[in-house]
Structure 1
Amino acid sequence: MPTRRDRPYRAVVAAARFLFRVLGLRVEVRGAEHLPATGPVVVAANHQSFADFAVVGLPAVQRGRLVRFLAKEAVFRAPVAGWLMRAMGHVPVDRRAGAAAAVRALRLLRAGEVVGVYPEATIGHAFLLKERADLRPGAARLAMETGAPLVPVAHWGLHRVLTVGGRLSVRRGRWVGVVVGEPLVPRPGEGVEELTDRLHARLETLVECLVDRYPDPPRAPVSAWWWPAARGGGAPNAADAARLDRAAMDEADDHAARRRARQR
């Protein structure tokens, strides 16, 4: 049933679609039928761009639904973005005190909503899925506690428009692929970590398949900052990317700690 927060959300969806047209983005969505049209759903997606939510939410929109994303608390402090995030019913997450966000996410799921989670926690500098050890178990835990299907959603290509390192491009015609995998349902005797193992394997496969069919591969991969190092590209290799990922998380945590100290 539509709620008051659906009105600003749908306005943002319309604005995003307009921006896609302005940028000439070639957004291709496959597998939207795998996302249930009713009932609680946990969407788990890879994280490569500051604008991920705009494409991760598209399959749900096609199914007549809206995703309430768990997002870092800092976004909610921005004057305009913060107001919009709250108006759309998204959930702020403080990585060092995440219990409140989990409670709100559970409440949304029990009300039959779609909740979006980024198990990688931060944007990955390698532009492929992070290693299993770096995947957080929160999405699997939410699914197991509520009985909601765990739906993997992978995307690739949006990082060429906006991502870490101040990378911003308004060049028209970028291709962005989005694919929804079949829902994961806990197996008898399976725990949160085992379900997270399966989620990682599924997301990794989906991301790799998107890279396989990317229609505009670089002519000189080694000089393309956005092409994965594992495929000969100029993106950071796995070790360097892991170091950059950790540094980004440490910086965000330190900033949050300083802010909390000022508020005392």
Structure 2
Amino acid sequence: MSLLQPGLGVPLGAAAVVVRGVLRTVSRHEWRGLENLPDGGCVIAANHVSWLDPVTLADVLVAAGPVPRILAKESLFRAPVLGGVLRVMRGVPVSRGTGDAAVALQHAVDAVRSGDRVVIFPDGTLTKDPDGWPMVGKTGAARLALTTGAPLVPLAQWGPQQLLPRKGRPRLFPRPTMRVLVGEPMDLAAYQGRPLTQALLREVTELVVDAIAELLSQLREEPVPPRWDPRTGSRRPAVAPPAARPEVEGAP
């Protein structure tokens, strides 16, 4: 599998203009923290609230620099309209539970090293948290950042789920506001150069999801609840602060 190139004969710049024009018609936007996005290759970890997220995040990130690469479920590339947008915007399809997932991650590594901004959703799918908060995360963002040594930037968004709910038809009125808050790159110096054990990746993933949740708390002006665990369908106890966590030594 190779990275999908711009398709349908549509230049990236033209696609971005079309996407932006549509979004400006059906929504408002309120973006903060774009100055925290570094120049060059980086990993952007975002919460996942709507199937529209790849489009709304591309709109934000194009305003702050080059067109990003977005990792998204392979099935979305077959969806009407959204699939075409993902292909034109150079999306990276991920087939979870197959060898293609590892291949997609390697393509993402190559993209970051070549200077691209790569967006990944630690939730792995639309959040199942009943209140829309980030779930217990998957380790892809942590692995990608630690493998490449590139900056890892947390990003929180709120609003796309109002325009395109998980279930039901799009809601165009009243026009929702797409709110985005970009955090500062995370300091992962203490984890660089260490073996990428599952225990270490889980620890870094907790830090990443914590950072996203704190940003989302600012957007929503609500406290962060205990993390939703989709495996149990319930909230688990709050995660201890980093200083209280035991050191990771070897594989679990």
Q: Same fold (TM over 0.5)?
A: yes
Q: Does 1:208 align with 2:222?
A: no
Residue 43 of structure 1 deviates from its aligned partner by 0.7
User: What are the within-5 Å matches in structure 2 for residues 176-255 of structure 1?
Assistant: 176-189=178-191, 191-212=200-221, 243=233
Quickly say closer, same or farther: Cα 1:78–1:243, change in 2 above 3 A.
same
Q: Distance in 1 between matches of 2:188 and 2:229?
A: 32
Corresponding residue for residue 107 of structure 2: 104
Quickly say closer, same or farther: Cα 1:156–1:15, change in 2 above 3 A.
same
Residue 154 of structure 1 deviates from its aligned partner by 0.5
Whether the aligned pair in 2 keeps the contact of 1:16 and 1:54 (CA below 8 Å) is: yes
Whether the aligned pair in 2 keeps the contact of 1:35 and 1:59 (CA below 8 Å) is: no
Quickly say closer, same or farther: Cα 1:189–1:50, change in 2 above 3 A.
closer
Q: Distance in 1 between matches of 2:233 and 2:52?
A: 23
Q: Distance in 1 between matches of 2:77 and 2:59?
A: 22
User: What are the within-5 Å matches in structure 2 for residues 81-230 of structure 1?
Assistant: 81-97=82-98, 98-125=101-128, 126-131=130-135, 134-189=136-191, 191-212=200-221
Unpaired runs of 5+ residues, structure 1, are 214-227, 231-237, 245-264
Q: Distance in 2 between matches of 1:54 and 1:85?
A: 8
Corresponding residue for residue 75 of structure 2: 74
Residue 99 of structure 1 deviates from its aligned partner by 0.8
Residue 168 of structure 1 deviates from its aligned partner by 2.0
Q: Distance in 2 between matches of 1:240 and 1:93?
A: 20
Quickly say closer, same or farther: Cα 1:73–1:189, change in 2 above 3 A.
closer
Unpaired runs of 5+ residues, structure 2, are 193-199, 235-252
Residue 112 of structure 1 aligns with an amino acid whose one-letter code is G
Deviations 1:2-40, CA, capped at 9 Å, x for gaps = xx84963332321222122322x2210000000012x21
The structure with the largest helix share of the pair is 1
Q: Distance in 1 between matches of 2:23 and 2:83?
A: 22
Quickly say closer, same or farther: Cα 1:185–1:57, change in 2 above 3 A.
farther
Residue 143 of structure 1 deviates from its aligned partner by 0.5
Q: Provide the TM-score with structure 1 as the length reference.
A: 0.73
Q: Distance in 2 between matches of 1:240 and 1:146?
A: 29
Quickly say closer, same or farther: Cα 1:15–1:127, change in 2 above 3 A.
farther
Residue 95 of structure 1 aligns with an amino acid whose one-letter code is R
Whether the aligned pair in 2 keeps the contact of 1:162 and 1:169 (CA below 8 Å) is: yes
Whether the aligned pair in 2 keeps the contact of 1:8 and 1:84 (CA below 8 Å) is: no
Whether the aligned pair in 2 keeps the contact of 1:9 and 1:87 (CA below 8 Å) is: yes
